[in-house]
C-alpha cells in the first residue's frame, strides 16, 4: 500500500513528478548568483516540499526514485548531497542514473561510507575499534570506483567524521598524520573535502595535512563546531588557498538530529530561523570567487530549500 494511503491521505496522482512553479523573483535571484556558486540541499526526497520544490505531494519513496529531475529543474538548486552513501555503498549504476537525470551544470556532493570515517564500530556491529577506519582500499573499492560513474557531474567527495574524542587516536597530531597518509593513498584528481564534528581535531597539523594534498576543509554549521568564519580563520592559508569552498549547514544549535526531525517535520517552513549563521555564511561567501558548494539540511532551520532561498537573498 502507498505510504500516503496508509496515513489516510488521498492516493497519489499518476504521471511524472514535476517541479513546482518558480516565482519570477526566485528565477531572477538565481540568475544574479555567480555561476560557480552552487546551492542545494542534503537530499531531495521530502513530501513536505510540495509547492516549494515539487508540484504536488508525493511519497518519500517515490521522490527518492523519481524526484531528482524535478529538484534539479529549480534554478536555485545546482547541487545536492547524496547522504545515503554514508550508510551503504551506492552502486555505479545508481550514480549513472543520477547523472542522467540532471542538467550538465549540476554537481553532486557525495558522502563517504561511514565505515571509512568512523573510528568506532556501531553498537549494532559490536562496538569497539573499527578495523576499516581510514582504509584506503575499502574507500577506493566501495566509494571512489562507483562515484566515478557521475563523470563530469561529480562534485566534492566528502569525508564526514562523526564526533569523537581525538585522544582515542593519539591526539590531534596523530589523527592528522593518519588522515594525511590515508588521503595520500587515494586517487588524484578528485575534489576531496573533510568535515569535522570534533573541534579538537581542527589543529595546525590538520590544516597542514590538507594543504599538502590540496584537500578542502568543509565549513559546517553544527553545534559541536565553531562558526564557519572561525573555522576559516583558524585554517588561515589552508582555507584561502584551497581549490574550492565547501559548506554544509547542518543542525540548529541546542538540538539533536532526532529532536530536530520531530520538531521540523514535514520540513515545509522555517521553524527556527538562524539569522546569525546565515549572516556568517553570507559574509564568507560574498567575498569568494572560487567554485563553491553549499548544502543545507532540513534540520538547520526547518526547511532546507527555504533556507537556501534566504541565503541566496542574503548573498544578492
Reported confidence tier of residue 126, pLDDT bands at 50, 70, 90: low
pTM: 0.93
Domain 3-315 listed as CATH 2.70.70.10? no
Least confident of 6-10, 30-34, 95-99, 266-270: 6-10
Report how far residue 13's alpha carbon sits from residue 16's, in angstroms, rounded to the nearest whole number: 9
**Residue 18 in contact with residue 54, Cβ under 8 Å?**
yes
Q: From start to end of the chain, where are the E strands? A: 37-41, 77-82, 107-111, 154-160, 192-195, 216-221, 245-249, 292-296
List helix spans (H) across 18-150. 24-32, 60-66, 68-72, 92-101, 114-117, 136-139, 145-147
Helical axes 304-315 vs 275-286, angle rounded to 10°: 50
- Residues 19-29 pLDDT 10s: 999 999 999 99
- Residues 221-280 pLDDT 10s: 999 999 999 999 999 999 999 999 999 999 999 999 999 999 999 999 999 999 999 999
Domain ranges of the chain: 3-315
Amino acid at each position: 500500500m502507498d505510504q500516503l494511503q496508509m496515513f489516510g491521505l488521498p492516493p497519489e496522482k499518476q504521471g511524472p513528478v514535476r517541479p513546482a512553479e518558480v516565482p519570477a523573483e526566485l528565477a531572477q535571484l538565481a540568475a544574479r548568483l555567480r555561476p560557480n556558486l552552487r546551492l542545494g540541499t542534503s537530499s531531495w526526497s521530502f513530501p513536505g516540499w510540495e509547492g516549494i520544490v515539487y508540484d504536488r505531494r508525493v511519497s518519500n519513496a517515490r521522490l527518492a526514485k523519481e524526484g531528482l529531475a524535478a529538484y534539479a529543474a529549480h534554478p536555485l538548486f545546482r547541487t545536492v548531497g547524496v547522504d545515503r552513501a554514508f550508510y551503504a555503498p551506492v552502486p555505479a549504476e545508481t550514480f549513472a542514473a543520477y547523472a542522467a537525470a540532471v542538467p550538465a551544470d549540476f554537481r553532486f556532493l557525495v558522502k563517504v561510507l561511514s565505515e571509512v570515517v568512523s573510528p568506532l564500530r556501531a553498537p549494532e556491529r559490536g562496538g569497539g575499534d573499527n578495523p576499516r577506519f581510514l582504509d584506503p582500499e575499502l574507500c577506493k573499492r566501495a566509494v571512489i570506483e562507483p562515484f566515478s560513474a557521475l563523470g563530469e557531474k561529480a562534485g566534492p567527495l566528502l569525508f564526514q567524521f562523526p564526533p569523537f574524542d581525538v585522544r582515542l587516536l593519539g591526539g590531534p597530531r596523530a589523527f592528522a598524520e593518519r588522515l594525511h597518509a590515508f588521503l595520500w593513498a587515494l586517487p588524484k584528481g578528485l575534489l576531496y573535502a573533510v568535515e569535522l564534528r570534533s573541534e579538537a581535531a581542527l589543529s595546525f597539523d590538520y590544516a597542514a595535512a590538507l594543504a599538502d594534498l590540496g584537500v578542502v576543509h568543509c565549513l559546517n554549521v553544527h553545534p559541536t563546531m565553531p562558526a564557519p568564519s572561525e573555522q576559516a580563520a583558524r585554517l588561515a592559508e589552508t582555507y584561502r588557498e584551497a581549490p574550492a569552498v565547501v559548506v554544509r549547514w547542518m543542525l540548529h544549535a541546542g538540538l539533536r538530529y532526532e529532536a530536530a526531525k520531530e520538531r521540523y517535520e514535514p520540513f515545509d517552513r522555517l521553524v527556527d530561523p538562524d539569522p546569525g549563521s546565515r549572516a556568517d555564511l553570507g559574509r564568507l561567501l560574498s567575498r569568494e570567487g572560487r567554485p563553491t558548494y553549499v548544502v543545507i539540511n532540513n534540520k538547520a532551520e526547518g526547511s532546507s530549500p527555504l533556507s537556501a532561498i534566504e541565503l541566496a537573498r542574503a548573498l544578492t
